[in-house]
Amino acid sequence: MLHNIVLHDHILDKWKWLLDPIHGYSAKGAYHFLTSVDGPLERGLFDDVWHKQVLLKVSIFSWRLLRNRLPTKDNLVQRQILHNDDNVCVGGCGFVETADHLLFSCDIFGSVWFLVLQWLGLYFVAPCGSRDHLLQLGHLTGLPRCSHSFLWIIWLIYVWVIWKEQNNQVFNQKVADSQSIADRVKLLIFPVATLSSGSLLLLVIMTGGCTLCLVWML
């Protein structure tokens, strides 16, 4: 990076905003850049992660996930932080650890998603990519439109829990099975489920309309 750089003792260092070298950095310019690099569909997809019923750190994490900016092993190898051979998934499945693999295809962590879908009573063939995965889940046919927002929340909670469990295994050497991880996802979903009519409607669908089961879940 410094191959063609010439240093001068009489010139002070200064920051330069490459998007606008004349006027410098501005929040408006940065926002315009971040919202104009993708097509209309992807911009709408990124908007879905900013939900008032989800913690800000979860939305920021999901935003980084959709842009493939998480410190997964494949990205760390690309940045030369890890060795080329140190890219195997932490779940022990033997595949290269990418964000999409870790969250949706891994034998340990990815299988949690199928347990969550089974609990919700939803069955469909989900894509392996995080963007397509969120897009398909948020537009499932056969469900009332008011429940789509709740499905997005479930997706945001799911990816956050998986990432936390992955970090817990890497840094604390604590290994959890798929069912216990799925139970943690459910526990985080319940408080949100009582805040909107769409969430309650989906819970009614999950319980088959049984009033006693619905009261027990709430």
Q: DSSP letter string over the chain? A: --TT----TTS------TT-TTT---HHHHHHHHHHSS-HHHHHHHHTT--TTS-HHHHHHHHHHHTT-S--HHHHHHTTSS-TT--B-TTSSSSB--HHHHHHT-TTTTHHHHHHHHHHT------SSHHHHHHHHTT-TTS-GGGHHHHHHHHHHHHHHHHHHHHHHHHH-----HHHHHHHHHHHHHHHHTS-HHHHHHHHHHTTT-HHHHHHH-
Window from 12-21, 50-59, 100-109 with minimum mean pLDDT? 12-21
Q: What mean pLDDT is predicted for residues 22-41?
A: 72
Res 24: pLDDT: 84
Average pLDDT, the chain: 79
The domain locations on the chain are 40-217
Residue 41: per-residue pLDDT: 44
pLDDT value, residue 17: 82
Mean pLDDT of 142-169: 84
Question: Is the overall model pTM greater than 0.75, yes or no?
Answer: no
Question: Could you tell me which residue, 162 or 141, shows the higher pLDDT?
Answer: 162
- Mean pLDDT over 95-123 rounds to 88
Question: Predicted confidence band at 212 (pLDDT cuts at 50, 70, 90)?
Answer: very low
Q: Evaluate if residue 40 carries a pLDDT over 60.
A: no
Q: For 117-154, how does the pLDDT look when each residue is reduced to its tens digit (9 = 90+)?
A: 888 888 777 788 888 888 888 777 566 666 777 888 88
